Structure 1
Amino acid sequence: MYDVKYSIDFNEEVKKEKAIILANICCEAIKGLLVYPYLDVIVPVPSSKQRSFQHVYFISEKISELINKKVDFGYLKKIKETSQLKSIEAENERKEILKDAFDCDLRYKDKKILLFDDLYRSGATLNEITRVLYSKGQVNNVYVLTLTKTAVKR
């Protein structure tokens, strides 16, 4: 378990420094995977919110450089605006919001994808994206790496 404090209050240079630390930690985890040598591409989850510093994209790019695997920022597209899911408790409501929100093409047909995101809460977003990658993208396998898991009220 690692403890790297990352706050939106930091200036951009500090955010980049922290993001590089996180990328290095991610690389350790990825290189420990049995599937690591067979991964074809890193696919970051599209951001649901525009920010001046898109940390998921920045960290994805650093991971790509460190493990010598391609990162593709244009493969997975968010094609529908969605409200933020963190305040929505009902799983069926989350699924409905995410329905038809993502798209991809066949460029990685039969390939192994490493899907990268910053946050795992309920799995609804990652489940929907994975469904799209398998059905529309016809990928062979999807592996998921996230930076953190949030506590869920139960």
Structure 2
Amino acid sequence: MKKHPIKLEGLWTEGYSLDKHVESSTYLGEDIYGNASFCTKRTFLGELMYQLKYHYDFSKIQEITDVAVDFIQNDWEILDQIDGILPVPSSKKREIQPVYQIVKLLSDKLGKPHCLDFFEKISTEEIKNLTEDEREKVLQDGVKKNRKLLKKASILIVDDLYDTGASLKRVTQLLQEDENIKNIYVLTITKTKKS
């Protein structure tokens, strides 16, 4: 399987990204509209995520999930330690949310329950173009927890792309406030270079 796991440090018990998002990006100059143009080479998983998120190729969900399942079961070996799977709420409204689809399929393949509305994004502002301080503020006020755990549990939080880690940090903080949380594991499909 084409993955190159990267350990993610944070508030969580343990976390990984399955690979970098981009291998290389070469500046080509400006296009006819004056926009910067790049030749970008993505990793295997980076290309799958790009096709899924920006070209709506939902057939890529199966391949992405297969790599994640293999990592969880055979490399990370935490299957027996997780009791449920939760997605990070998306910052952009889409008819079909890629990370939710990945979580649903992961849940089926791993035999672990999931909940897609445990967290809710209440801010409609996209955070990817904000500064780190602005992101923190938007996420602090813009994400809420809709539910609570009914019994002691260790949770796997899944996100598609790790950039600054601000979204994961916020949902981890909210989950840590739950009296029934034991351990929090984090898995992202890819990670940007700047993070």
Say whether the fold is shared (TM-score over 0.5).
yes
Distance change >3 Å, CA 115–CA 142, structure 1 → 2: same
Percent of aligned pairs sharing the same letter: 30
Alpha-carbon distance, 1:70 to partner: 1.0
Q: Partner residue of 2:168?
A: 126
- For 1:65, which of 108, 133, 141 is the aligned residue? 108
Count the aligned residue pairs.
148
- For 1:94, which of 135, 141, 148 is the aligned residue? 135
C-alpha distance in 2 between matches for 1:82 and 1:146: 22
| Partner SS state of residue 59, structure 2 | helix
What TM-score, normalized by structure 1, do the two folds share? 0.84
C-alpha distance in 2 between matches for 1:106 and 1:47: 20
Q: Partner residue of 2:194?
A: 152
More strand, by proportion: 2
Q: Partner residue of 2:120?
A: 77
Name which structure has the greater RCO, CA cutoff 8 Å, separation 6+: 2
What TM-score, normalized by structure 2, do the two folds share? 0.68
Two-structure CA RMSD over aligned residues (Å)? 2.0
Q: Partner residue of 2:64?
A: 22
Q: Does 1:41 align with 2:84?
A: yes
Q: Mind listing any 5+ residue stretches in structure 2 that lack a counterpart?
A: 4-43
Q: Is the 2:158–2:188 Cα contact (8 Å) retained in structure 1?
A: yes
Deviation string 1:21-51 (CA, Å, 9 cap, x unpaired) is 0000000111132432121001011122121
